[in-house]
Structure 1
């Protein structure tokens, strides 16, 4: 009697060993990618949150109220409010997916004008985008009532892997200067005209 050969089992084990090695390699690669993304987000968010807080305080010196998200109670520990502070040790920077400043001025249609930084993905590639949203007016919808219509300008847009902080700061400063001057001169058109001249239109939405 010819002994039974266990070829099938050996092949199955060999097949799974190769698959298992490939799965392990992909797990390691993806884990490394996630660690790199989280490190980048932590570094970038730490800088941007600090930048936006400084901008908010500069606007407050000319009595312009901006609201910020995340709020200072989340990320800051103060020695003397609002200028002497440091980041809370436990603050989770990598969990932040949006940072924004929102104008609360109730004249010239400024309420809701906002500078936003957000993360998004295209085909699993993470991007960072900075936009300026502004209210274009109101419209009455039959079933929803009055809604405010917002336009948007894309100020900065970059894959996270190619993020350039100097370029980001250049764009941030450009918009902040126009925004600030428009308040000093009490003329919102200065800001809107500047944005229309220099930046591409983004989406339109209602609130």
Structure 2
């Protein structure tokens, strides 16, 4: 290759390399900001869900929680004297949920779920209430449980509003709690139908 051509080739790559370096720095910064935001949000929401877990436990309603309390908490006295584990990776949590283990009234699997997702490369956070609508027999796969969803909160992560989120969370938890106290699941389902948009339906 002639010296002139070699210099031209080098100039071309130098420009490309500079652009790639700029893109690397920009994306790294975006990811750091996203992780910091998720870390702060998840720390609060995991604590919220654990407090809800304990509150329902006082009326003998048992939930499972994701992430598991054994992963995020250290206990001095289970369950109410605790602190976060120092090595827990809050930013790495993409799903937080409480799942009802009550077998009466078809409640098994009723759950409050939060997860992160991308839409057009924009990170979002969504909270739904999932519940079992019943069972159906399928010829080739047998009996399947049919689950429905209600969308409680959904927003781009950049526009996440903790106060609004807590308002929605409290609204659903109060209806859920009352339905257990009165042993009437219909109270919860009616409240969800009257106040929230339906989401997806799926089988398990």
Q: Check whether TM > 0.5.
A: yes
Q: Distance in 2 between matches of 1:186 and 1:43?
A: 36
Between the two proteins, the alignment pairs up a number of residues equal to 204
> Which residue of the partner structure matches residue 30 of structure 2?
33
Q: Deviations over 1:13-71 (max 9, x none)?
A: 11111111110000000000000111111111111110000001000111111111111
Query: Structure 2 regions of 5+ residues with no counterpart?
Result: none
Moved over 2 A (4+): 4-7
Corresponding residue to 1:108 among 86, 102, 105: 105
Q: What's the CA shift string for 1:99-148, capped at 9, x where partnerless?
A: 10001111111110000000111122111100000000000011111000
Q: What is the alpha-carbon distance in structure 2 between the residues aligned to residue 21 and residue 71 of structure 1?
A: 44
Q: How far apart are 1:7 and its partner, in Å? A: 2.4
Residue 56 in structure 1 maps to residue 33 in structure 2: no
**2:64 equivalent in structure 1:** 67
**Secondary structure at the counterpart of residue 98 of structure 2:** strand
Structure 1 runs not aligned, ≥5 long: none
After superposition, where does 1:1-207 map in structure 2 within 5 Å? 6-207=3-204
User: What SS does the corresponding residue of 2:134 show, helix, strand or coil?
Assistant: strand
Largest Rg, 1 or 2: 1
